[in-house]
Structure 1
Amino acid sequence: MTATTALPDAFCPTDGTRVPAGTLAWSCPVCRGPLDLDFSPTPARPASLTGRVNSLWRYAECLPLSAPAISLGEGRTPLVELAGPVSAKLDFLMPTLSFKDRGAVMLIALAQRLGPERVIADSSGNAGTSVAAYSARAGLPCTVYVPAGTSPKKLEQIGGHGARLEVVEGGRESAARAARAAADEPGTFYASHVHNPYFLQGTKTYVHELWEDLGGRLPDVLVVPVGNGTLLLGAALAVRELHAAGLIAKAPALYAVQSAAVAPLAEAWRAGADDLVGETPAADTFAEGIAIPRPPRARQILRAVRASGGAFLTVTEEQIAAAQLDLATRGLYVESTGVACWAAVRDGALGERTAVVPLCGAGAKTGLAKASVG
């Protein structure tokens, strides 16, 4: 297991602009779009993983940073059967109770290495909580911009980690704009889970874990909730790495799930478009964590789903509420955004194909969806 010491450069996937490693740049200096990392690792073979640390850092060859002192043991969440050919990965059993810890630990490990004066983030709750927790672990001052209407339990968790909260009137897009306005101030590290490619390098470990847990294979279908697409794009990265190394014979199809109330990517998919079409208004939905009207990585998300032979699925509020209750009766108390994938496939939408759904956040963060109606 070789520790990574030199940071790779970043680049803009839209116009190819290079961004040198070791800077606080968080977006393309030309188009201001998100960045990708110039990093093509080779995964370790299953036999060499025996005896390694029981966290996502066991996949060291595939990560652009060495294991940091700020790790909270994130990763290696259980995989359990749900029904028929569908299993669930319990990513709500992370240190801050959501899958966002996979990416946040990478962002703050990078920030710790770069030594900024402050960290800022924007979030509908879970990403901000993760960034706040790991910033506290690293001893870095942190400010999190959140939209008005964010779950009080998530606000309490963010504040409990010592971060300063900036509550922004309006929806998720308003919070992101406020954070971006502050992001270029000197000494600021913008821990953007959307723009910074290190976040995707963390979320890809979700698939590396599945591959190991399933004995060196992957299911026929990976079902993933999509708002900004960070879990889906991380999954696509891992699939490419495993396939290029000859460690899987066939890549799984990626099925992306959106709330029917806010589904700009599903609408673009149905239109056969390569990018977003028209304007999608913000709307209330139980799946608040994926209610993103204009995801900056839309083109990459659509391309990844199409290349995999997958598709987009949408779920109604009634389906979300029913799926959350169904999981609770199975012993799994998951927040309303985190049940979207189970809502999409629990009635047999995938046929007999094997599939894994992520249960992304703990129900303690939001309570039951039906209880919050009205």
Structure 2
Amino acid sequence: MLAPMTAYVCPRCRIRAAADALTWCCPQCRGPWDLEFASAPVSLTSLASRVNSLWRYEEVLPLATSLPHVSLGEGRTPLVPLGDGVSAKLDFLMPTLSFKDRGAVMLAELARRLEPRLVVADSSGNAGTAVAAYCARAGLPCAVYVPEGTSAKKVEQIRAHGARLTVVPGNRDATARAAQEAAGEPGVFYASHVFNPHFLHGTKTYVYELWEDGGGRLPDRIVVPVGNGTLLLGAALALDELAGHGLIDRRPELVAVQAEAVSPLAAAFRAGAEDLAGDAPARPTLAEGIAIPHPPRAAQILRAVRANGGTFLTVTEDQIRAAQTDLARGGLFVETTGVACWAAVRAAPPRPGTTVLPLCGAGAKTGSAQRD
């Protein structure tokens, strides 16, 4: 059913499980899975004739073993220059208006093959929307859990795709706990963008697209927003694969951005810690999509940033507001979480070389920070 030589493995306990099982976490430490998967090198010259979605990178996707796949034409988003060597990759042009489609399509394809009685997801909005949309495309019943205070426009979008929506009192952690309780029921597939590594193998296509569009070269630095770290960890996977296959001669810096109001990873990085050290302060922030006080893959995120010569940057609420306005005045209306990287780059001293950052979600999902 699944690609040969794929299995779940706990990065901490080294416990393994079949990748076609509904077991969503390590039974010993309750942590997220990694995926044992051997990718093959992608031939740059072969890509021009391939399908115009992320499934074009079939050598590196663990579910690209048979056709047809679930797809809404995701991927292949454009790069737009912002000036001074900085370009933005417009992932808010994805089918559900956020980069989460890159991972959600993988989870929906996996669920389609496993045929569960129900797919469950939890989210602050965008991941739940993406899972709901791709489950609708695949004809799968879906339930999505979101925290109270989730943008009304995201809630409307989830419901429009036919998912059963549950609004959970409390914060993002409470929402995850509610979904995980539901995921423990028989026949339920937990389409977790945090715990299921297939999601990360979808988000790594972000870097493969940069590599393809650059003619086999990558920018000097890749800046990404980090809450649960799914885009950053996918980018790190891609860099490992491209370097391992000899397809790049250098690794770009991998720079992580958090909102100053909720920045546990930045605090741990600056302290030289290998994992989160206690509870970092958490305050309300416009960047709701990265307001994650206890990311389950924290240790992996910190390792990935260090391994790729990167660092953490944080941005204030005023910087987020100003960055959203600045982009909108240039024709790009992006949600407040999605402008965090541009806010960080604007505030940092200019650096030589090229930088790419993602604009992750459409402004239509949350509206303007000036009115919030």
Aligned to 2:37: 39
Q: Aligned residue for 1:268?
A: 268
Paired position in structure 1 for 2:25: 27
Aligned AA (1:139): G
Q: Which amino acid in 2 is paired with 1:292?
A: I
Query: Where does the alignment leave 5 or more consecutive residues of structure 2 unmatched?
Result: none
1:47-90 CA-partner distances (Å, limit 9, x unpaired): 11121111111100000012544200000000111111110100
Name the residue aligned to 2:340.
340
Q: Which digits, 9 at most, give the CA deviation of each residue in 1:277-336, with x for residues without a partner?
A: 121344210100000000000000000001111000000000000000111111111000
User: What TM-score results when the alignment is normalised by the length of structure 1?
Assistant: 0.97
The equivalent of 2:84 in structure 1 is 84
Give the paired residue count. 370
| Alpha-carbon contact 2:267-2:280 (below 8 Å) kept | no
Partners of 2:263 and 2:282 within 8 A in 1: no
Q: Where in structure 2 are the equivalents of 1:1-374 lying within 5 Å? A: 5-6=3-4, 8-66=6-64, 68-349=68-349, 351-372=351-372
The TM-score with structure 2 as length reference comes to 0.97
- For residue 314 of structure 1, give the secondary structure of its aligned residue in structure 2: strand
Deviating beyond 2 angstroms after TM superposition, the runs of 4 or more aligned structure 1 residues are 3-7, 66-70, 280-283, 347-350
Partner amino acid, structure 1, of 2:57:
Y
Q: Secondary structure at the match of 1:265?
A: helix
**How many Å separate the matches in 1 of 2:178 and 2:319?**
33
* 289-298 vs 138-147, which moves further: 138-147
CA distance in 2 between counterparts of 1:271 and 1:347 reads: 22
Q: Structure 1, residues 309-364: CA drift from partner, whole Å, max 9, x if none?
A: 10000000000000001111111110000000000002443511311000000000
Rounded Cα–Cα distance in structure 1 between residues aligned with 2:247 and 2:69: 30
Amino acid at match of 1:54: N
Q: Distance in 1 between matches of 2:3 and 2:307?
A: 33
Cα distance in 2 for residues equivalent to 1:40 and 1:316? 40
Instruction: Assess if the C-alpha contact under 8 Å between 1:220 and 1:252 holds in 2.
Output: yes
Return the offset for 1:7: 6.5
| Distance of 2:282 and 2:165 partners within structure 1 | 22
Q: Is the 8 A contact 2:40 2:59 kept in 1?
A: yes
Distance in 1 separating the partners of 2:26 and 2:350: 38
- Segments of structure 1 that go 5 or more residues without pairing to the other structure are none
Query: How far 1:371 sits from its partner (Å)?
Result: 1.1
